[in-house]
């Protein structure tokens, strides 16, 4: 996660979906397969704005080279 690009508040229920994506990306890096994984998006169904939630939260994972 890039903290400066994230919202100030993050739904705690999206974290398990993020951890699954991180395991997939870690496998891709270990295999030296730097292309985007087949499953690169995850979502969390939330209660919605009317009930105090955000609705459907979608996250996308990317593999980027670090700028030094």
Domain residue extents for the chain: 10-60
6 three-class SS: coil
Q: Say how many CA atoms lie within 13 Å of 35 toward its Cβ.
A: 2
Q: What is the pLDDT of residue 51?
A: 67
Say how many Å lie between the first and final Cα of the chain, rounded: 18
- pTM of the shown model: 0.55
pLDDT tens, position by position, 13-64: 778 888 888 888 888 778 877 666 666 787 777 666 666 666 677 888 777 7
């Amino acid at each position: 996660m890039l903290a400066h690009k994230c919202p100030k508040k993050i739904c705690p229920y999206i974290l398990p979906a993020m951890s699954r994506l991180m395991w997939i990306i870690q496998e891709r890096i270990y295999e030296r397969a730097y292309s985007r994984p087949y499953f690169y998006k995850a979502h969390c169904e939330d209660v919605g704005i009317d009930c105090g939630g955000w609705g459907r939260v979608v996250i996308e994972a990317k593999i980027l080279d670090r700028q030094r």
